Amino acid sequence: MSFTVSPVAIVFFFAVIAVTLGITYWAAKRSHTTSELYAAGGRINAWQNGWAVAGDILSAAVLLGGVGMFFTSGYDAVLYAFPVLMGIVIALGLVAGPMRRLGRFTFTDAAAIGLSPVPIRIIAALSTLAVLLMYLTAQMLGAGGLIQILFGIPFAVAVTIVGLLMVIYVAFGGMLATTWVQITKAVLLVTGISLLGILALAQTDFSLDQLYARAISVHRLGANLMQPGGLGLSRIEATSLTMAFAFGIPGMPHLLMRFFTVPDPVTARRSLVVGISVMAFTFVLIYLVLGPAGVAFVTDNPAFATASGGVQGGTNMVVLHLARSVGGDVIFGLIAAVAFATILAVVSGITVAAASALSHDLYVHVFARGRADERRETIIFRGSCVVIGAAGIGLGIAFQGQNILFLTGLLFSIAASSCFPMLVMAMFWSRLTTAGAVAGGAVGLGLSVGLIIIGPSVWVQVLGNAVAIIPLSQPAIISVPAAFATMVIVSWLGRRTKTVLT
Partner 1 sequence: MSSPAREVQPLDKRGVFFAVIVIALAGVFETVMYSAPGVFARPLWAGSALTLALVLGFLSFLIPVVIAWLICRKDAPSMASQSNPGTRP
The footprint of partner 1 on residues 49-78 (CB under 8 A) is 75, 78
DSSP 8-state secondary structure symbol assigned to residue 114 = T
Segment 92-111, which members bind partner 1 (CB under 8 A)?
A: 92-94, 97-98, 100-105
The answer to whether 369 contacts partner 1 (rule: CB under 8 A) is no
Query: Should residue 142 be labelled a site residue for partner 1 when binding is judged by CB under 8 A?
Result: no
- Contact between 221 and partner 1 by CB under 8 A: the answer reads no
Task: Give the CA-trace dihedral at 346, 352, 355, 361, to 10 degrees.
Answer: -120
Q: How far is CA 30 from the centre of its chain?
A: 27
Binds partner 1 (CB under 8 A): choice among 185, 254, 258, 269: 269
CB contact set of 423 (below 8 Å; sequence gap of 6+): 95, 99, 107, 110, 111, 250, 251, 256
CB 67 within 8 A of CB 298: no
Rg value, the chain, Cα: 22
The amino acid at 334? L
Range in contact with partner 1 (rule: CB under 8 A) among 84-92, 348-356, 452-460, 476-484: 84-92
Give the span between the Cα atoms of 135 and 399, in whole angstroms.
Answer: 13
Q: Which is nearer to partner 1, 276 or 458 (CB)?
A: 276
In the complex, least distance from residue 216 CB atom to partner 1, rounded to whole angstroms = 6
Among 263, 394, 446, 481, binds partner 1 (CB under 8 A): 263
Q: Which of residues 169-198 bind partner 1 (CB under 8 A)?
A: none
CA dihedral 61, 63, 64, 67 (to 10 degrees): 120
Is the CB of 208 or the CB of 485 nearer to partner 1?
A: 208
What distance in Å separates the CA atoms of residue 211 and residue 370, rounded to the nearest whole number?
A: 60
Give the range of 6-14, 154-162, 385-393, 421-429 binding partner 1 by CB under 8 A: 421-429
| Phi and psi at residue 305, to the nearest 5° | -95, 150
Is there binding between residue 81 and partner 1 (CB under 8 A)? yes
List the one residue from 26, 47, 82, 399 that touches partner 1 (CB under 8 A): 82
Q: Which is nearer to partner 1, 170 or 407 (CB)?
A: 170
The candidate with the shortest Cα–Cα distance to 418, out of 138, 136, 137, 125, is 125
Residue 452 and residue 413 in contact, taking contact as beta carbons nearer than 8 Å: yes
Nearest CA to 70 among 255, 271, 221, 267?
Answer: 221
Is residue 276 a contact residue for partner 1 (CB under 8 A)?
yes
Q: Which amino acid is at 33?
A: T
Cα(419)–Cα(128) distance, rounded to whole angstroms? 7
For position 89 contacting partner 1 by CB under 8 A, the verdict is: yes
Q: Of 66, 83, 313, 409, which one interacts with partner 1 (CB under 8 A)?
A: 83
Least distance to partner 1, CB of residue 446, Å = 25
- State the nearest-atom distance from the C-beta of 239 to partner 1, in Å: 7
Taking the least distance from each CB to partner 1, the nearer of 294 and 333 is 294
Q: Under 8 Å CB-to-CB from 500, ≥6 apart: which residues?
A: none
Nearest approach, Cβ of residue 219 and partner 1 (Å): 12
Q: How far apart are CA 476 and CA 247, in angstroms?
A: 9
Span from 126-134, 179-187, 233-241, 335-343 in contact with partner 1 (CB under 8 A): 233-241
C-alpha to C-alpha distance for 163 and 471, rounded to whole angstroms: 36
Our finding on whether 208 is near partner 1 (CB under 8 A) is: yes
Q: Which is nearer to partner 1, 168 or 268 (CB)?
A: 268
Please work out the total of residues on this chain that contact partner 1, with binding judged by CB under 8 A: 74
Residue 119 contacts partner 1 per CB under 8 A? no
> Judged by CB under 8 A, which of 135, 151, 260, 459 binds partner 1?
260
Does 246 participate in binding partner 1 (rule CB under 8 A)? yes
Nearest to partner 1 of 207, 465 (CB atom): 207
Contact between 429 and partner 1 per CB under 8 A: yes
Q: For residue 487, which of 414, 419, 422, 430 has the smallest C-alpha distance?
A: 422
- Non-local CB neighbours of 93 within 8 Å, separated by 6+ positions: none
C-alpha span between 198 and 318 (Å, rounded): 17
| Residue 306 engages partner 1 in binding (rule: CB under 8 A) | no
Cβ 375 vs Cβ 364: under 8 Å = no
Q: Which of 4, 428, 450, 485 binds partner 1 (CB under 8 A)?
A: 428
CB of 368 to partner 1, least distance (A): 17
Specify the amino acid at residue 320: L
Which residue in 106, 242, 299, 479 binds partner 1 (CB under 8 A)?
242
The closest alpha carbon to 72, from 200, 231, 232, belongs to: 231
Distances (CA, A) of 439 to 268, 286, 412, 421, 483: 30, 40, 19, 11, 8
CB nearer to partner 1: give 137 or 491.
Answer: 491
> Is 252 in contact with 346 (CB distance < 8 Å)?
no
Closest CB to partner 1 among residues 40, 358? 40
Ranges within 25-54 binding partner 1 (CB under 8 A)? 35, 39, 41-43
With CB under 8 A as the contact rule, the residue among 71, 172, 287, 412 that binds partner 1 is 287
Instruction: Tell me if 223 contacts partner 1 by CB under 8 A.
Output: yes
Give whichever of 308 and 502 is closer to partner 1, judged by the CB atom.
502
